[in-house]
Amino acid sequence: MSEAPPAPAATLVIFGAMGDLAGRLLMPALVHLERDGLLDGDTTLLGISHGEGDDDALREKLGAFIEGDENAWGRWRERITYLRGDFTGDALYEALKERLHGNAVFYLATAPGFFGPIGEKLGTSGLLDEGDGFRRLVVEKPFGTDLESAQALNAKLLGHAQETQIYRIDHFLGKETVQNITVARFGNALTEAVWNNRYVDHVEITAAETVSVGTRGKFYDETGALRDMVPNHLFQLLALVAMEPPNSFDAEAVRSEKAKVIAAVTPIPPEDAVRGRYLAGEAGGKDVPAYRDTPDVAPDSRTETYVALKVAVETWRWHGVPFYLRTGKAMTARDTEIVIHFREVPPTLFRNTPNTDLPPNRLILQIQPNEALTMEMAVKEPGPLVKMVPASLAFAYADAFDLGHRTGYETLLYDVLIGDPSLFQRADQIEGGWRAVQPLLDAWQSGEPDDYSAGSTGPSSADALLARDGRSWHEIA
């Protein structure tokens, strides 16, 4: 049981309830919340989809994703109902008005093309009016495909709902270790004191995946690694690393600091970016066909499956400190991490010691898998000479805490129900992210990504991007 109180009762209306997200991530998260006593017993789920079905079919479908937690699932099962409807027709919204009373959360787990039309219909039919309870709208990613479309979607939704009613999801923010970045920074004098351009040389943010595009070819070929991961997930990590201390944990205080730092990211010039595309190989223990041979991918596709970027954050604190970001599919290992590289100490004292290339300090925030915090320091090797070798002060979460099995959506769903938008993106953050990558979206309409083999660390041009600055990437492991 959790120390937090149960969230107020509400109807969770999931558009796209028969889809992958609802089954794989949302339902298990709701069951975990129920298990932990974080939901009111009157919370219900109304699943909407355009296909044939009934209450039992939906219960069956969602239940297939539940492992263990039988009591909690048993309690949930009875509270799930199904409504068939066309997301763009009026009849569905008339039916919803009949059925819905009091608090409701509308969760758009649909193809992104429906976000605007559903938001509009909910608005015009009066379903977002908060007369007899709260009405909230949860919008999944991708939120737009470029700056212009994101602005248009924001404008449309904000024409029908207040900003405070809109919860734009970035599921990275539901990860425990991502939330811990704020505590690691601001809760420790030791880190915050050196968290600036006087002591930090550069920062690396990596989200490497072993999974390939697999069956997601249709979505991915229109999207690519840049849109899929950078303006959202990687920029959220960057914002948590680079933002100024908020005055409180109040949602607006935190979101304003994040928006401020994202606005300070210089739009990325194409010469500071590398794009890659995987060739056939073995990744994650599986044979992976070349990206262009993936089902639903155009044989002449120029979509990238890897990006590496050098990003400038033009704030007082970070001027002159490059942030290197990279993400890719079908890579050698699954590894999401942030590495803070500190400056070297003056060499004066160590000039005449046998090991003069003293390793600089590094702080590694391992987000997933094997969540950990590691500080790399230089120590003296025992013996008559002053010989320096690197040593690690390492903290593994699993050694101290039971992280349990979570999907990452537990916190996010709970926060929507209690009305805390801290972990959700505000309109200005979303638009700031797109603004920073827009030069690349424009430039990459022509040309081709560089090749890399599936199961490797990415194209050699990504190594060259750092070598140009006399640096190299932290090992992906």
Catalytic residue numbers? 233
Tokens 């296909």 locate to 51
Taking the complex as a whole, the smallest distance from the CB of residue 110 to ligand BG6 amounts, in Å, to 15
Nearer to ligand BG6, 257 or 415 (CB): 415
Pattern 141-180, ligand BG6, x by CB under 6 A: x---------------------------------------
The residues facing 375 across adjacent strands are 363, 393
Taking the complex as a whole, the smallest distance from the CB of residue 14 to ligand BG6 amounts, in Å, to 18
Both tokens of residue 278?
A: 């995987």
Taking the complex as a whole, the smallest distance from the CB of residue 444 to ligand BG6 amounts, in Å, to 18
Nearer to ligand BG6, 112 or 246 (CB): 112
Q: First-to-last CA distance in the chain?
A: 35
Taking the complex as a whole, the smallest distance from the CB of residue 25 to ligand BG6 amounts, in Å, to 9
Kindly state the DSSP code that residue 17 receives in the 8-state scheme: T
Nearer to ligand BG6, 209 or 410 (CB): 209
410 is an interface residue for ligand BG6 by CB under 6 A: no
Both tokens of residue 351?
A: 């000039």
Both tokens of residue 225?
A: 């690694």
State the Cα–Cα distance between residues 144 and 307, nearest whole angstrom: 19
Pattern 334-353, ligand BG6, x by CB under 6 A: --x-----------------
**Residues contacting residue 273 through CB under 8 Å, at least 6 positions apart:** 307, 308, 309, 310, 440
Distances (CA, A) of 304 to 148, 183, 247, 438: 21, 34, 40, 15
Q: In the window 103-142, what residues touch ligand BG6 (CB under 6 A)?
A: 141
Taking the complex as a whole, the smallest distance from the CB of residue 125 to ligand BG6 amounts, in Å, to 30
Sheet holding 273-279, edge to edge: 387-396, 372-381, 362-368, 335-342, 200-208, 322-328, 306-312, 273-279, 450-453
Report the candidate in 457, 432, 436 with the shortest Cα–Cα distance to residue 168.
432
Nearer to ligand BG6, 213 or 440 (CB): 213
Taking the complex as a whole, the smallest distance from the CB of residue 475 to ligand BG6 amounts, in Å, to 19
**Residues contacting residue 378 through CB under 8 Å, at least 6 positions apart:** 358, 359, 361, 388, 389, 390, 391
Nearer to ligand BG6, 336 or 453 (CB): 336
Nearer to ligand BG6, 44 or 179 (CB): 179
Q: In the window 14-43, what residues touch ligand BG6 (CB under 6 A)?
A: none
| 169 contacts 138 by C-beta, under 8 angstroms | yes
Q: In the window 201-260, what residues touch ligand BG6 (CB under 6 A)?
A: 209, 228
Task: Give the footprint of ligand BG6 on this chain (CB under 6 A).
Answer: 141, 209, 228, 336
